[in-house]
Amino acid sequence: MKDFSSPPEFAVPEIIAVANPAAGAQWTQTVPNNTIWLINNVEFQLLTDITVINRIGRVEIFDGTTNTRIAMAGFNQAASLTINHMYKLAGHGLNATNQGSGDLAHRLYLRPTWIIRSNVANLQAGDALTAISLYIQRWLINF
């Protein structure tokens, strides 16, 4: 019988659908206990209201306390636009199809209770974050 008390050599890719927050609020997701995540890709859609100010979409990772481990740089988004924000291992920029992407500097492993969340600068009360997906690999661990 196979011993599953330690992480398998390979993990199966998964997509975590994060719940949409209320308008004007950031999204957040916590890594469950006894789990390690490898972040392959982060995607969300930002719909900005008519308030004239640039928003800057960003993703941050916390170590389960108040310490920011890494912040993934974002890009400007003006009022009255809907743009898909994507953070992946390669590629960046904003193109004519309202898609933007940023680089993940390296493979990001998140430990139990660590938090991944949005931190959109200048987020307005009428702005909406939707279609939030985390493309991960998950390992179950025993401490």
Q: What is the DSSP string of 62-90?
A: E-SSS-EEEEE---EE-TT-EEEEEEESS
Global pTM value:
0.82
pLDDT digits (tens, 9 = 90+) for 96-125: 345 565 656 667 888 899 999 999 999 999
pLDDT reading at 93 higher than 70: no
pLDDT digits (tens, 9 = 90+) for 10-58: 677 899 999 999 999 999 999 999 999 988 888 999 999 999 999 988 8
Are 47 and 128 a contacting pair, CB within 8 Å?
yes
Third-level CATH fold of 17-140: Jelly Rolls (2.60.120)
Q: Structural domain boundaries of the chain?
A: 17-140
CA-nearest of 6, 35, 44 to 109 is 35
CA–CA dist 109, 89 (Å, integer) = 13
CA–CA dist 35, 31 (Å, integer) = 7
